[in-house]
Structure 1
Amino acid sequence: ILRLLVTVLNKEPDHVIWLRVYDVVESKHPITQVTPVTPIKQSTISTQTPSTRNTGSSVNSSENRRYMDDVIRGEIESIISDVPEFEVKYFQNIENFNSLVDTVLEKCQAESETIQLNGWEGWPTSAIQSGVVRFLEGINERFWAFVPESSRTRARVLVARPNKGQQGSTAIRKVDIAFVQGNDPKHVDHSWLKVHVPGELKSNIQEDIPTRRSAAWVDLARYVREIFIAQQSRRFVLGFTLCGSIMRLWEFDRSGVIGSTEFDINKEHRRFITVMLGFQLMSEVDMGFDPTIKHKDDSSEHTYIEIKRKGQTETLRLGKCIRRTACIVGRATTCWEAYPNDNSLASPLVIKDSWQYCERVEEGEMLEKAAMANVKNVATYYHHETVQVGATDDDVVSNVRKNLDTMECNCNWFPRSDLFKLDSTSIAESDASRKRKWSKTATVHNRVHRRVILQDYGQEIYNAKTPTALLSAIKDCIEGYESLYNEASLIHRDISINNLMIHGSTGKGFIIDLDLAIDRDRAAPSGSRGRTGTSAFMAIAVLRNEEHTFIHDLESFFWVLFWICIHYTGPGKEHARIVQAFEKWNYMDMIELAEVKKGIVSDKSDFTDGLHREFSTYYRSLIPCVDELRDVVFPAGTRNRHESMVLFGSMKGVLERALRDL
């Protein structure tokens, strides 16, 4: 009752007063039939898919290594190592490869200066990096000289750059050694676009053991992330570590990481030759590139895909890449603009590739459902399919990992702290169970490569040309969300700065990305491992892993507007800035972030002062609007604990009034 009185005395809006009335009535007599207000249910193990975070969830970030390494560890979560037949599977398609390796080994054995009693000639006993680099470059060229002339056509060469940063990174990254596209080590492009197989060198053999804090695999993973970002058609990445003389091969994909058994290059000579030659001779498909993205006349400038739609084959020429999620494990969404039948004058389509959990309902099916329901202000469906590689569905377990048997391999688990994942099971775990690291049972959470094609083309909402255009687009998106919820019975669950768009021709706002959407009446979870979201825009309740409802998505609209007004000094990425206090939101413990957000909105006066302090000059005119939205979304400075359809109208009303006043 006291809170109700305070609300009335503060002359809060009518809808806030009524919510306080409902609170009082419910505290005395539980409400059973009042609509449209419904208490939000608490999640349970059986109904809520846990939220997770990966390196692609960061927004307006400097990607400082002190933050990113921990996020990479949390993103990967587990490493399956000591996988047998690793090289056999990945090098199996190289023509006459075994006989080629035997030939090179025989020639090495015939030369006493190549193989000595204690290993390879030239191996530095202290295994310092500079010495190992010289050894690898020298021995590799010696191997290549022994390759018969008929087989001496390599797709890539070994290049060392331990003291030079790679081109194309947000932050400076230095790869120790790598197999790079080209056939002449002296004349190759060193950018991430051309790095096919990264390597990491360590002098200490203990660094080979894949623990949470060992540096070798983490450093390699950092390079792999850069390769995934730069190479748009990359499905997986192979790499290697050399710790002392102990070598191990690695495969990184959208489900995680697997590693071969380790071996000593000074003792297992044939295996070492196999690796060095194999990486240079593999085809691009075996290296992890997508063969469905084809090149016309061998031109990298003219790429296209073919689809079967309504019984007909259509050719879609790819234009520029408009989105590439920066992550290793996850959906890894990539979007291109595309033109049907090479007609550059036609309205562009959007091709979206992503790796979904097999258990999830296909995004294409939900977009098709939305289209059939005539939902407005949501991306328009055109086509969807599962990508086929080698005449089979392109998934991780069968296609990418080639059905390698991992069930009896070592699995090193890195239990996610609350920084990366909070679910009801982790709360109940004992300290002893959380400390368990090694397991002989390695469960792989399979993902499948999906392709969706949309008819609407636009730009992210932060590209709005004026503050007025931004508010108008957000209002359109809220209307689209309301239509999606009411007409198609879908809850979006991933409202973020990248999923709210402005149409290129009309300027209207619309919503994209139904990857994480669910039916609002779903009675059971999908069974998928987790759902990745952008924590900066997550509702407070979602950060606390409470059941995700439409109310929380509406709160996310608030955080999107709040974030844009702070981080953008004008329209577009060129006007984005990094604000240290908010960059931490990308890496912060989720419960801690929930408390930070609660603190920001709890006091009206403090909140208003914060807007004046943090908002960019360009967006200061929106302070009254954001201030009023805070009153609506967080009545009396607290979380909205009721599913009230009134909130749709209240938020749109605030935006409409602001548009009239600007």
Structure 2
Amino acid sequence: MSSKPEPRPSQEPTGDASEAGSDSIRTELSGCVFRHVKGFYAKYFEDKSWSTAAEQAAQKVQLDVASALYRDFLELKSQGSFSAWLARLQSMSLAEGQILHHFRSPQVNTSDHPLRAIVYLVASSGRSESSSPPPAADARVFGDFSVDASDIGPESVSRFYETARQVFQARPTRRFLHGFQIRGSTMELWMFDRSGAYSSDKLDIVQRPDLLIKTMASYAMTNDEEAGFTSFIRRDGLGSYVAFGGADENETERLYLEDKPIAAPQYLVGPGTTCYAARTSTSQTAGFVVKFAWREDAIHTERELLELTKDRNVWGVIRALGWQDLGSIGGLRQGLRFNQPYDFPPAAADGRATSEGDTPIATVAGSDKDYDPLFINHAKGVLIDLDGALDLEKGPARRGELVGSEGFMAIGILTGDPHTYRHDLESLFYVFLWVAICNDREHDDERSLRHEPETSRRWGWCSMDFRSVSRNKSVDMSPEGFPRILGEFSTEFKHLKGLARELRQLLFLMRDGDIFTGSDMDQDGINRLYDGMIDAFNRSIASQTQE
């Protein structure tokens, strides 16, 4: 990965959630966007079951009519005129006898000419606009229209990418997403997956106005799998479910997923770990967790480590009931010829995890006593996410390899220090802060793990630009910055501000005018930190009990 100029370190708490989000987008884009990929159109639009029908749909539209449609687009200036134009495009593109789809445009910028609009192609469901889900959740394809031919370059691609990321956030289990950009007289077709984005050659609508009709017809005729939806999740009269077990349908067990995930990524590029609470058909409560995640081929899988914990009789670890590989990035991109990645100056990243391998699913027991032996000993919790664990008998982490969870990694780990006891204690502190900031009685009945205030400083901790995260955390853990973190505590946890201050002081000693993020490896230093944190927790518990 090419080196990039470093942003200046922050001297005090910086920015808001939007700035953190912008930095995250730039980091995700750096080195993983490829434009004008050879073989793109042939792979996704030719030799399909619907290719002939899409060609016929375009041929039915006379050339002068298609040209007029394009010319009218350049004159659009209002929401109403764009909606009418979009309806004309749709009527020309959708062939008779195909599954009905329609365009929805929830966002149109009409403040000034030229007009720019985001649209989604969704399946017609018969539901009213008010009762249907947000367009992003059901988007088969999304498009970015602009009559301004000069609206190109890094900022345009960044905005486009942000829309794609919102679609993945709305349905995090999808495998990939089609998109297209129209800028004046040119159209560029895109594909997004968990390793980044890539596009076709530019298509000239002036010279080939029928391409617009043919492409829209092709998008409308794709089936769910071709549109990127996960076929592993199915539906019946009881809801959405995944099946595991025997090869025969009658031998499989169905686990029904709750509507909202209990954990889902805010990024696009990366493992995309998404977890749903699930139940059996005969249970009213969720006793299982279904996990979707992309992995890298060269790295051990969670499955292998779970088998290892079973062989070694490790207590307090989840039990995997089944898993299945669903595909690979290599398969999605097979036959394409990539050039150099698109440059986004001045991007700032040299620590980002991209996914190049398969998509496994792990179905694990959570709280069902019939399957989970942990309840014999009345366990209060279990270890999860072993895809971020290491088998120390095989040696330490490889140089440059980061192991940890987004938002909770210690500053030293983010800057490349060898993993020590101190980093685990620092991560525990970040978990404590997350509990105090992101949880309250208002959301007790919901299963989501993220109720992050939009202005929270923690958004600056959740990025794959690891150097930026380390700087943000250093600022927030400083004596000057930490009051901002305490100010975010929810009402239910405000009484623990004193404990938070004491833990911060134990973890981040001041040395030479800066907070110390290294590890004291002598026994006195180790005992000071362990004993100090245990004592602080015990005194806080005792004081709350007395009250």
Alpha-carbon distance in structure 2 between the residues aligned to 1:613 and 1:589: 25
Do residues 625 (structure 1) and 507 (structure 2) align? no
**For structure 2, which runs of at least 5 residues remain unmatched after alignment?**
2-14, 111-115, 369-374
Larger radius of gyration: 1
Shift of 1:454: 1.9
SS for the counterpart of 2:120 is strand
Aligned counterpart, 1:540: 411
Q: Which amino acid aligns with 1:180?
A: V
Asked whether the 8 Å contact 1:237–1:253 carries over to 2, the reply is yes
Which of 511, 517, 521 is the equivalent residue of 2:389? 517
1:326-360 CA distance string (max 9 Å, x none): 221111111122234x2315861111111112221
Q: Which residue of 2 aligns with 1:319?
A: 257
Alpha-carbon distance in structure 2 between the residues aligned to 1:302 and 1:71: 35
| 73-82 or 573-582, larger mean C-alpha shift | 573-582
1:308-337 Cα offsets, whole Å, 9 max, x none, are 379994322223132222221111111122
Identical residues among aligned pairs (%): 21
Deviates more, 1:648-657 or 1:193-202: 648-657
Q: Aligned equivalents of 1:601 and 1:530: distance in 2?
A: 21
For residue 43 of structure 2, give the secondary structure of its aligned residue in structure 1. Answer: helix
Specify the alignment match of 2:516 in structure 1.
638
Q: CA deviation at 1:281?
A: 0.8
In the alignment, the residues of structure 2 paired with residue 607 and residue 63 of structure 1 have an alpha-carbon distance, to the nearest angstrom, of 16
CA displacement at 1:579 relative to structure 2: 5.2
The farther-off stretch of 369-378 and 608-617 is 608-617
Question: What does residue 307 of structure 1 align with?
Answer: 244
For residues 156-555 of structure 1, the aligned pairs below 5 Å read 156-163=101-108, 176-182=118-124, 189=132, 191-208=135-152, 211=153, 213-215=154-156, 217-296=157-236, 299=237, 302-308=239-245, 313-320=251-258, 321-340=261-280, 342-344=281-283, 348-378=287-317, 380-388=318-326, 394-398=327-331, 400-401=332-333, 403-407=334-338, 409-414=339-344, 417-418=347-348, 420-421=349-350, 446-457=356-367, 508-520=380-392, 522-523=394-395, 533-535=405-407, 537-555=408-426
Q: Report deviation, 1:127.
A: 6.5
The structural deviation recorded for 1:582 is 5.2
Contact 2:476 2:485 in 1 (8 A): no
Indicate the RMSD between aligned Cα atoms, in angstroms.
Answer: 4.1
Deviations 1:524-570 (A, max 9, x none): 756998767424x3322123222233421221111222343355555
Question: Is the Cα contact below 8 Å between 2:142 and 2:178 reproduced in 1?
Answer: yes
Q: Could you report, residue by residue, the CA deviation over 1:409-432 in whole angstroms, capped at 9, with x for unpaired residues?
A: 3521447855x4459xxxxxxxxx
Q: Structure 2 counterpart of 1:316, which letter?
A: R
What SS does the corresponding residue of 1:272 show, helix, strand or coil? helix
1: CA distance, partners of 2:518 / 2:118: 51
Partner of 1:141: 91
User: CA contact under 8 A between 2:194 and 2:268: conserved in structure 1?
Assistant: yes
The yes-or-no answer on 1:558 pairing with 2:429 is: yes
Q: Tell me the alpha carbon deviations over residues 199-240 of structure 1, each in whole angstroms, 9 at most, x when there is no partner.
A: 1112232434xx4x331x222222222221222541111111
2:54 alignment counterpart: 101
Query: Aligned partners of 2:285, 2:129: CA distance in 1, in Å?
Result: 40
TM-score after normalising by structure 1: 0.65
Decide whether the 8 Å contact of 2:456 with 2:488 is kept in 1. Answer: no
Paired with 1:185 and 1:108, the residues of 2 have a C-alpha distance of: 30
Cα deviation digits, residues 479-516 of structure 1 (max 9, x gap) = xxxxxxxxxxxxxxxxxxxxxxxx9x968243321222
Q: 1:526, 1:411 → 2: CA distance?
A: 26
Contact map agreement 1:193 1:231 (CA 8 A) in 2: yes
Which whole-Å CA distance do the structure 2 matches of 1:265 and 1:186 have between them?
34
Counterpart residue number, 1:68: 21
Q: Secondary structure at the match of 2:89?
A: helix
Specify the alignment match of 2:44 in structure 1: 90
Q: Give the SS at the match of 1:555.
A: helix
The equivalent residue for 1:114 is 65
Distance across 1 between alignment mates of 2:57 and 2:481: 71
> Which amino acid is the alignment partner of residue 308 of structure 1?
G
Q: Distance in 1 between matches of 2:434 and 2:255?
A: 35
Deviation at 1:278, TM superposition (A): 0.8
Extract unaligned runs of 5+ from structure 1: 1-44, 46-60, 166-173, 389-393, 424-443, 459-502
Q: Is the 8 A contact 1:254 1:331 kept in 2?
A: yes
Q: Is the 8 A contact 2:187 2:205 kept in 1?
A: yes
> Any idea what SS the aligned residue of 2:321 has?
strand
Deviation larger for 220-229 or 593-602? 593-602
The residue aligned with 2:371 is: none
- Equivalent residue for 2:542? 660
Q: Which amino acid aligns with 2:240?
A: T
Amino acid at match of 1:272: L
Q: Distance in 2 between matches of 1:582 and 1:288?
A: 31
TM-score, length of structure 2 as denominator length: 0.77
Match of 1:431 in 2: none
Q: Give the secondary structure class of the aligned counterpart of 1:534.
A: coil
C-alpha deviation, 1:587, in angstroms: 6.5
SS in 1 for 2:429: helix
CA shift, 1:307, in A, is 2.0
Q: 1:527 to 1:102 in 2, by over 3 A?
A: farther
Q: What is residue 38 of structure 1 aligned with on the other side?
A: none
Contact 1:355 1:448 in 2 (8 A): yes
Q: How far apart are the structure 2 equivalents of 1:633 and 1:156?
A: 56
SS for the counterpart of 1:332 is coil
8 Å Cα contact 1:384-1:450 kept in structure 2: no
Cα distance 1:237–1:611, how it changes in 2: closer, same or farther (>3 A)?
A: closer
CA pair 71-624 structure 1, distance change in 2 beyond 3 A: closer
What SS class does the counterpart of residue 324 from structure 1 fall into? coil
Change (3 A) 1:75 1:518: same
Q: How many residues matched?
A: 499
